[in-house]
Chain A
Amino acid sequence: MSAILLDFDIGIEGHPYPIFARSGWEIPQPSQRELEAERQPDEILRLRTFVLIDEMARHGSRQVKIRSLPKYLYNCVGMVLANRRAWIEIDHIIDVLREDGYRLLARDQVVAGDVVVYNLNVAPVHVGLVVAVEPSFGNLQEIRVLSKWGLLGEVEHRDEDVPYHCGRPSL
């Protein structure tokens, strides 16, 4: 079975293709000129990710797995809300979620497919997609998240196991 790979590239006059929230609001994106960059080679992305995972392991984080090292430029918001087709600044995440009709959940209501917003000093700094919710010790749940770590790859991890600059889950 063959698949068609949709390549995200320049849209009109140097601007990325417009993306709209469900409400019709156009989601702001950086200009193409801002996003011109060569992708780092796989070995550099992998090495940096392993360095972080190793550092996190020293502080007790486990079961952090590199899922992929994407060829195209997109960030955590682009992964969760634009099908890996865009770099959308994290500043807009709350607006996008509101305009798309998302609602807040308590931790015990979370299921696979839900979105986790991460905060650092009360500001949103990261977002991920819940891929599994598994029973843990006592009545606790372990929430597994897939998220794009900036310019690095997509990583599967417990919701709390992210690098410092990805903040803490707001669950």
Chain B
Amino acid sequence: MTLQIYYDEIESLLYQANLSVVCGMSVLLSALETADVVQAMIRELDNRDSLRALRGRIGFLCGRATDEGRVDYDESIVTYLYALSQIDPALAREASCQIMNARGLFWSRRMALRILEATEAKALPAIE
């Protein structure tokens, strides 16, 4: 099944506007956890092709920079990153690296940073 129906809603102006009013990371996460469209999309990520398609969608949006070099799909990208992180942490880390190099993103960068810092923390040897 194609993820396009989810892309259409999550990349809509109304979806982005609704999410842009959150004033904290906990509120954002709660919004994503309870959003029907997000949970429905996550249920579709049950195979490698879907996961790679979603990873590719993040790359596609990150590449759609404006003339000023800014990416305008912050709320959509963070939604996709959140969904990826629930199923495939490795792909989420890969996407996070790309997001950290894109301009114009706020929530996506914050979530990407958390994903990457969590990875670094796990990689540190235990202190005995």
Chain A positions near chain B (C-beta within 8 angstroms): 30, 33-34, 36-38, 40, 44, 47-49, 51-52, 55, 75-77, 89-91, 120-121, 123, 125-127, 148-152, 162-166
Chain B positions near chain A (C-beta within 8 angstroms): 13-14, 16-27, 30-31, 70, 72, 103-106, 109-110, 113
B26 and A150 contact, CB distance less than 8 A? no
Given contacts A149-B21, A164-B18, A165-B19, contact A89 B26 (CB under 8 A): yes
Most buried by A among B21, B70, B105, B113: B21
Most buried by A among B19, B20, B24, B110: B24
A125 and B18 contact, CB distance less than 8 A? no
B27 and A125 contact, CB distance less than 8 A? yes
- A/B pair count, beta carbons within 8 Å: 84
B24 and A90 contact, CB distance less than 8 A? yes
What are 20 residue pairs bridging A and B, where the CB atoms are less than 8 Å apart in the complex?
A: A33-B113, A38-B70, A40-B72, A48-B20, A75-B23, A89-B23, A91-B24, A120-B27, A121-B30, A123-B26, A123-B30, A125-B30, A126-B21, A127-B23, A148-B23, A149-B23, A150-B23, A163-B18, A165-B19, A166-B23
Q: Is the interface of B mostly helix, strand, loop or mixed?
A: helix
Give min CB distance, B24 to chain A, whole Å. 4
Contacts of B23 in A (CB 8 A): 75-77, 89-90, 125-127, 148-150, 166
Contacts of B19 in A (CB 8 A): 165
> In the assembly, what is the distance between CA of A132 and CA of B124, in Å?
54
B20 and A75 contact, CB distance less than 8 A? no
Known: A120-B30, A152-B17. 9 other contacts (CB 8 A): A38-B70, A48-B20, A51-B13, A52-B18, A90-B23, A125-B23, A151-B21, A162-B21, A165-B27
Give min CB distance, A44 to chain B, whole Å. 7
Contacts of A34 in B (CB 8 A): 109-110, 113
Kindly list the 8 A-B residue pairs having the minimum CB-CB distance in the complex, ordered from nearest. Answer: A37-B106, A90-B24, A48-B17, A75-B23, A150-B21, A149-B21, A89-B24, A51-B17
Given contacts A33-B113, A44-B72, A123-B30, contact A75 B104 (CB under 8 A): no
